[in-house]
Amino acid sequence: MKEGNSKKVLLIIPSRIMVRGIEGVFNDLGEFRVEGILSDISRTSETRLKNMDADIIIIDPIVFDYATRPVGRSVIAEYSDAAVVALQTAVMEDDLWKQYDEVINVYDSPATIIKKMRSALTSRLDVPKSDSHELSTREKEILICVAKGMLNKEIADLYNISIYTVITHRKNITRKTGIKTVAGLTVYALLNNLIDSSAVE
């Protein structure tokens, strides 16, 4: 397989292990070549994203990170036309995977990985739109606390706000998500990578 023919890949993956692993798998097989590596999607990264003319981007959705940012592929789409493949390492809500052209699981065999890479290049999604009824920053913070099992009083103390405010936020959270129980909200937080299971109990 000729070097010149291979597709340019950009990795946006904070795990050195996984970066080296994917490089290794691609080196074994040719066809794809890692041309750039980013470990986050910070401001400085965005210019590299724009300048580097990658054919395909493999991203670990964890970079869209807990609570702070509006999740998703759409962020990438602003800076690059490359196909975007998610690297699946953790549990995440089904809907969130659908925005990517393909999803590679860390346990996939090299053959499967290559197949999915090809698939990502041919069958491209065109309109990745972000969902509407997002939780506000504060609401996410409160939700995280709730999912951790904190009391309203504890949350109020943590953020130096009134317990009434906490309760109001919780009302809005249940209204926006449609989830009425703590158990449900905990699962919601887990599936949306707002918390890690180790953060609870």
Partner DNA sequence: TGGATTTTCCCTATTTTTGGGGATTGCCGC
Partner DNA sequence: GCGGCAATCCCCAAAAATAGGGAAAATCCA
Which DSSP state fits 160? T
Q: Which of 8, 25, 118, 163 binds a second copy (CB under 8 A)?
A: 25
Which DSSP state fits 201? -
- Residue 40 interacts with which of DNA, a second copy, none, CB < 5 to 8 Å by class: none
Provide the minimum distance between the beta carbon of 78 and a second copy in the complex, in angstroms, as a whole number: 25
Residue 166 in the binding site for a second copy (CB under 8 A) = no
Question: What CA–CA distance (Å, rounded) separates 199 from 147?
Answer: 9
The full DSSP string for 121-155 is HHS--------SSPPPHHHHHHHHHHHTT--HHHH
Phi then psi dihedrals of residue 70, to 5 deg? -70, 115
Residue 98's CB: how many other CB atoms inside 10 A? 12
Q: Which residue has the tokens 């291979």?
A: 6
Residue 24 in the binding site for a second copy (CB under 8 A) = yes
Total of residues contacting a second copy (CB under 8 A)? 49
- Residue 152 interacts with which of a second copy, DNA, none, CB < 5 to 8 Å by class: DNA
Question: Is 104:85 a contact under the CB 8 Å cutoff?
Answer: yes
Q: Which of 80, 99, 186, 192 binds a second copy (CB under 8 A)?
A: 186
| Site of interaction with DNA (CB under 7 A) | 134, 136-139, 151-153, 159, 161-162, 164-165, 167-172, 174, 180-182
Residue 18 in the binding site for a second copy (CB under 8 A) = yes
Residue 157's CB: how many other CB atoms inside 10 A? 13
Query: Segment contacting a second copy (CB under 8 A): 42-50, 77-85, 106-114, 115-123?
Result: 106-114
Residue 91 in the binding site for a second copy (CB under 8 A) = yes
- Residue 89 interacts with which of a second copy, DNA, none, CB < 5 to 8 Å by class: a second copy
